[in-house]
Amino acid sequence: MEQALAEPDIDLPGPVREMGPPYLKQIGGLTDIIEQLADDLESASKTDGELRRLCTVPGIGPVTAGAIAAFALELETFENGRNFAAWLGLVPRQRSTGGKARLGAVSKMGQCDIRKLLIVGAMSVIRWVVRKGRSANRWLANLVARKPRMVAAVALANNMARMIWAMTTKGQNYRMA
């Protein structure tokens, strides 16, 4: 875009030529800030033990681990992993009548930032499973084979949230089931 603004041969409207440089300068400044924050987060995830432990879970990177550390309550306050997943909004709504529970869609309540990051991470894991055609995790391979990808991603994000709770409260490292 900078080259197009610099060359007078390219036919651009006058207001675009006038307003372009300040916007490009602003974009450049924001890009520098974002790159600096990404570098800081990357180095923090290598030095902090808890962030490093969270990054070992497939689908969780430095951004998701940092968001969990920053925005999540103390995970010991949750009774179990399901309660943590429910706080994130990753548990299906339950409607029951006559003793029969019917599971509905995942609610939009809960901590949306971490939920979205977990779902994006789950989608990347699912994309990898689909590309390879198999997975070491049989539960995930079966889930991807029989459910739509987004449904499988939410289920995997729920599973990841429960793993995060267990790893954090018990002080253990990630291990494949």
Query: 117 with 161: CB under 8 angstroms?
Result: no
**In the block, which residue shows the tokens 């036919």?**
11
pLDDT by residue (tens digit) across 124-170? 999 988 888 777 788 888 889 898 999 899 999 999 999 999 998 98
d(CA 132, CA 124): 12
The confidence score (pLDDT) of residue 103 equals: 63
CA-CA-CA-CA dihedral for 32, 34, 36, 40, to nearest 10: 180
CA distance from start to end of the chain = 50
Domain boundaries, the chain: 48-170
Query: 84 with 75: CB under 8 angstroms?
Result: yes
* Nearest CA-CA partner of 58 in 131, 134, 160: 160
Residue 8 is given by DSSP the state T
Query: 105 with 51: CB under 8 angstroms?
Result: no
Per mean pLDDT, which range of 38-52, 85-99, 116-130, 138-152 is the poorest?
85-99
Q: Residue 117 — pLDDT band, cuts 50, 70, 90? A: very high
